[in-house]
Structure 1
Amino acid sequence: MTFSRPNRSEATLTRNRTPKSISPFSGMCATCSVECAGLCDIGKSSYRGKEALYPQPFGAVTAASEKDYPIDYSHFNIMGGAVGAKGIEADSDKAIFPNVDTSIKISDIELDMPIVIAGMGSTNVAANHWEGMAVGAAISGIGIVIGENVVGMDPNSEIKNGRVVQAPNLARRIKDFQKYSEGKGFIAVQANVEDTRLGVQEWAIENCGVEVVEMKWGQGAKDIGGEVKLDSLDRALQLKRRGYVVLPDPEDPKVQEAHKNGAFKEFERHSRIGMVEEESFHARVAELRAAGAKYIFLKTGAYRPADLARALKFASDAKLDMLTIDGAGGGTGMSPWRMMNEWGVPSVELHSLAHQYASRLAAKGKHVPAMVFAGGFTLEDHIYKALSLGAPFVKAVGMSRAYVTASFVGNNVAQALKEGKLPSAYKTYGERADQIFITSAELKSRFGSDFDNLPASAIGVYTYTERLKQGLKQFMCGARQFSLDYITRDDIAALTKDAAAVSGITHIMDVDKDEAEKILG
């Protein structure tokens, strides 16, 4: 069987002329007709070229891999129990799911839920829904990371001698979180090659009171730098002057003429790939600490296992606070589509390797940073399984695409109310915001008159997080774990021999085998 569907996808708005008769590996129609207008990936590439590399419409959708990997988190089940309780008295009146504690500490940063909204950078999707995610993260007590290129992409940033001196967009993003923060959760500022050259993290520490910074090696959707589209020559020229790779070259008179004549409508801005070296890595960590960073994180992607080993070893030696490990297949929609599907180590395999490597370091008495697993997680069972697979090292999960959805749906509710055009999906619950959002009464009690100032998108994020919280509590209660510290790798079982072999998690038929034998006598 094939694990992916080449040559057509809803993500790229491409399809086959003969969808019931496809060559499995190439993805081409079994009979390719000279009369076809060019509906598939090959055909569209024949007239739109490199534009067809990306999910469409670019910047207006989020996208993630549709490749059906041989093993994923659905190949594990959570084990429940009927005996005792951990973290609470084994009393049926006390061991109830509302009493489960979902809070966790990363260093001395407390999270109300083990969730980090990871890497929301300069893309249109992230920018358009930032306020909802930032405010929602603050009132939910979870972490959020400002992703790469925010300063360089801000037309109003002021840069002198290659260093940022004013960054209004970055400052606003930080304030969106800080305004509503109640002491739990965190906001971090990430940096790639260009951000580091501009001094973005130092500026944020000095001017915005940022305490948390994140170094970035990559992500799960792609193994190259980030890209966005630019629809004006002036923007393309500005970003090239700021040090970005811009294609085609906006300074070339022939390119300028072609753009003016409509031969192409958009320039591409690309970021550089990093060059990881142990000495320079530790030097950068020292620079950040000297600049006043209180907590330092590292984000890495689905690179080959040797690079995962480097990430863990370097983070261990540098005594970093957190390491996020993002498995292949994730993304927020700005990555080349085939790359999103066909490169990197998938989440279960990558996370299993991370646990192996962390265990080796721990056995030697080495520092192991709090680990965060990411890679397409959306619901409470994913959270539990990731914490279990990576126990005791994994303290939280990274989520991005799901939180974009929660933010824009919250905003869609408000927009529908404003326009007086409520779809039936909302009307089912009422015709006012406080009827549609189930958490309204709780938030009104908590914020009083300030409730009306909460963005609807943030209420969407909060309400989604509350659903995840109760769902996680219910799973934990059933497994008799009343705080996150009690979750172990024995709390999940592999449903296939392959999943067991890859992860080291016990196969379902071997779970409790010895104990069952003792019980049976």
Structure 2
Amino acid sequence: MKMMNMNMSIENSKSTTGTSIRVKDPCPINGMCPVCIEDCNVLCEVGKGALRGREVLYPSPEHFGKSTAASNKDYLLDWSHFQIMAELIGAKGIEPNPDVAFFENVDISTVVGSRGKNPIKMKLPVHIAGLGSTAVAKSNWKELAGGAALAGVCEVIGENVCGMDSEAVYSNGKVQSSPDMAFRVKSYKDYWDGKNGRIVMQTNVEDARAHVEDYGLSKLNVEVIERKWGQGAKAIGGEVRLNTLERALELQSRGYIVMPDPSDPEVQAAFKSGVFKTFERHSRVGFPNEQAFLEDIDQLRQKGAKNVFLKTGAYKPEVVAFTMKCASEAKIDLLTFDAAGGGTGMSPVSHMNELSSPGIWLFSQVMACAKELKKQRRYVPDLSFAGGFINETQMYKAFALSDMGQGPIVKSIAMARGPITAAVKGKHYAELAEKHQLPQSFVEQYGADPHKFFIAATGLQERFPKKKIGADIPWGAVSLYTYFHDRLGEGLKQLMAGTRKFKLECIENEDIVALSEYASKVSHVETLDARADRVMKALL
């Protein structure tokens, strides 16, 4: 009944668009009120769409730049439909000794690009997916970059950063300098230990036209380039909102698609009179073909890229196969598949809810392709899964799902909304503390001093005695590090100790079971019932 109620109302009432309905029993067919009255003051999807048009396609515009958004649709199958199996007998990756096999001794480090010439070590099997020109990423970049570097994981600078930089210098369509891009690279390297993790530069169609990778490789000493074919939140290119006419004209002059047309005198008049308050900037989509892609990857390596990644979205199953084939032929170091459901900018709500393959389906398709490639003795790239991951249980299940007999081929989980929330929350609470506006209940439990209520602050201060926590290392970076290291890291260690797997490569497919026949059918993970024969054998 809960699922039915959600499906009845979601078509005409969404928190993401700031819409609601007047009654509690909507029409099951479309979510409209069974009786729609003339003098209703409530804005439903239809009503708000009639007033604001295309604005209602996106998460509430007034929150752009200070929010992230995701699907609120129940896809009927998610990671909660699987259970992790605890173990009692023996241990893998460590001596089965009670004095040794303690969860703090679990090794959760990972290597991406493990089959290439330049493997990248990370202290944790998680990294930050592409955060590009959207305002929420830019305004919190120092915190995000600092936290990722402190945790020893990769961070991906997303698409369109140079193109959106007002101070960027172009010559003949090629970017020559970009203070914003330089800032983003430096913000990571300021806290990087030189060994674990890397700063990664992602490029889309617009970036490739502007030769952004040339600038990153030659002038910013970036070592890793990620080509982008798409993301799970949408399939029509990157989008952001622009608050000024001048900004809209600037980006239009750089070749971006800006809507409505800022060069149109009537549009300018409408904007100045307040009819609408923001313009939309859109990126173009690419149409990859295998030969051009292989040539492109070869050129990136010739230009000096030590590692090449590929990020793609949740397209048709046959496109998943095409992507795996291309990544195999190009010997990509890390291939990220991003499932439907969430984004960091202004992805259309209908895309997040209704477009592309949800996680378990997509990842099962990916694994089917990986197994076929292995069967044919072809190169299988290291993989990363993305699509709404926020905790260690989801991570473990994804690793187990990706085991093909020799450990997980998923080497890292890519996250975006979770890390942003962690960084923003820390930044916000530090600001509340400075203004003496922390919730009283919080103060009573954790205190009012950030050096105390940030549980990892003391340890970081000891690690960096010459840097001032809260100043040289911003509080948002401290909170992201805490989320990665103390929450996800320690949580994953505990789960792995519970299954007696003390190294990441020891995680197996049989560590999880499906809780329903449907989950088993989609994922090919056994149910508990299917293991009945093992019970009998154990009694012999």
- Compute the TM-score of the two structures, normalised by the length of structure 1: 0.98
Between the aligned partners of 1:247 and 1:37, the Cα distance in structure 2 is 30
Between the aligned partners of 2:275 and 2:14, the Cα distance in structure 1 is 26
Q: How does 1:80-99 map to 2 (within 5 A)?
A: 80-99=86-105
Q: Which residue of 2 aligns with 1:138?
A: 149
Q: Which residue of 2 aligns with 1:23?
A: 27
Quick one: structure 1 residues 461 and 265, their matched pair in 2 at CA, closer, same or farther if it must change by over 3 Å?
A: same
Alignment identity in percent? 45
Q: Which residue of 1 aligns with 2:73?
A: 67
Q: Which residue of 2 aligns with 1:48?
A: 52
Q: Which residue of 1 aligns with 2:192?
A: 181
What amino acid sits opposite 1:212 in the alignment?
Answer: V
User: Are the equivalent residues in 2 in contact too, given 1:443–1:451 (CA < 8 A)?
Assistant: no
Between the aligned partners of 1:105 and 1:173, the Cα distance in structure 2 is 23
Between the aligned partners of 1:258 and 1:63, the Cα distance in structure 2 is 28
Q: How does 1:422-437 map to 2 (within 5 A)?
A: 422-427=438-443, 428-437=445-454
Q: Which residue of 1 aligns with 2:479?
A: 460
Say which SS state the counterpart of residue 350 (structure 2) adopts. Answer: helix
Deviations, residues 246-272 of structure 1 (Å, cap 9, x unaligned): 111111222222222222221110011
Between the aligned partners of 2:133 and 2:346, the Cα distance in structure 1 is 10
Determine if the alignment matches structure 1 residue 410 to structure 2 residue 426: yes
Q: How does 1:442-521 map to 2 (within 5 A)?
A: 442-452=459-469, 453-465=472-484, 466-511=486-531, 513-521=532-540
User: Are the equivalent residues in 2 in contact too, given 1:64–1:333 (CA < 8 A)?
Assistant: no
Structure 1 residue 330: Cα displacement:
2.2
Between the aligned partners of 1:424 and 1:388, the Cα distance in structure 2 is 42
Structure 1 residue 425: Cα displacement:
5.0
Say which SS state the counterpart of residue 119 (structure 1) adopts. Answer: strand
Structure 1 residue 449: Cα displacement:
2.8
Between the aligned partners of 1:284 and 1:506, the Cα distance in structure 2 is 41
Larger deviation, residues 34-43 vs 116-125: 34-43
User: Are the equivalent residues in 1 in contact too, given 2:240–2:345 (CA < 8 A)?
Assistant: no
Structure 1 residue 34: Cα displacement:
1.1
Q: Which residue of 2 aligns with 1:216?
A: 228
Between the aligned partners of 1:254 and 1:290, the Cα distance in structure 2 is 49
Q: 1:163 aligns with which of 170, 174, 180?
A: 174
Say which SS state the counterpart of residue 287 (structure 1) adopts. Answer: helix
Between the aligned partners of 1:184 and 1:421, the Cα distance in structure 2 is 37
Q: 2:19 aligns with which of 14, 18, 24?
A: 14
Structure 1 residue 441: Cα displacement:
1.6
Structure 1 residue 312: Cα displacement:
0.7
Gaps of 5+ in 2: 114-118
Deviations, residues 212-247 of structure 1 (Å, cap 9, x unaligned): 110001111111101111121111111011110011
Q: Which residue of 2 aligns with 1:327?
A: 339
Structure 1 residue 116: Cα displacement:
1.3
User: Are the equivalent residues in 2 in contact too, given 1:114–1:396 (CA < 8 A)?
Assistant: yes
Structure 1 residue 38: Cα displacement:
4.6
Between the aligned partners of 2:123 and 2:101, the Cα distance in structure 1 is 20
Larger deviation, residues 261-270 vs 152-161: 261-270
Determine if the alignment matches structure 1 residue 34 to structure 2 residue 53: no
Q: How does 1:221-240 map to 2 (within 5 A)?
A: 221-240=233-252
Determine if the alignment matches structure 1 residue 104 to structure 2 residue 116: no
Deviations, residues 65-88 of structure 1 (Å, cap 9, x unaligned): 110012111100101111110010
What amino acid sits opposite 1:151 in the alignment?
Answer: C
User: Are the equivalent residues in 1 in contact too, given 2:134–2:345 (CA < 8 A)?
Assistant: no
User: Are the equivalent residues in 2 in contact too, given 1:37–1:43 (CA < 8 A)?
Assistant: no
What amino acid sits opposite 1:375 in the alignment?
Answer: G
Structure 1 residue 424: Cα displacement:
2.8
Say which SS state the counterpart of residue 328 (structure 1) adopts. Answer: coil
Say which SS state the counterpart of residue 337 (structure 2) adopts. Answer: strand
Q: Which residue of 2 aligns with 1:120?
A: 131
Deviations, residues 462-510 of structure 1 (Å, cap 9, x unaligned): 1111211110000000001000000111110000000000000001222
What amino acid sits opposite 1:131 in the alignment?
Answer: K
Q: Which residue of 1 aligns with 2:328?
A: 316
- Compute the TM-score of the two structures, normalised by the length of structure 2: 0.94
Determine if the alignment matches structure 1 residue 439 to structure 2 residue 444: no
What amino acid sits opposite 1:185 in the alignment?
Answer: G
Structure 1 residue 59: Cα displacement:
2.6
* Paired residue total: 519
Structure 1 residue 426: Cα displacement:
3.6
User: Are the equivalent residues in 1 in contact too, given 2:64–2:135 (CA < 8 A)?
Assistant: no
Gaps of 5+ in 1: none
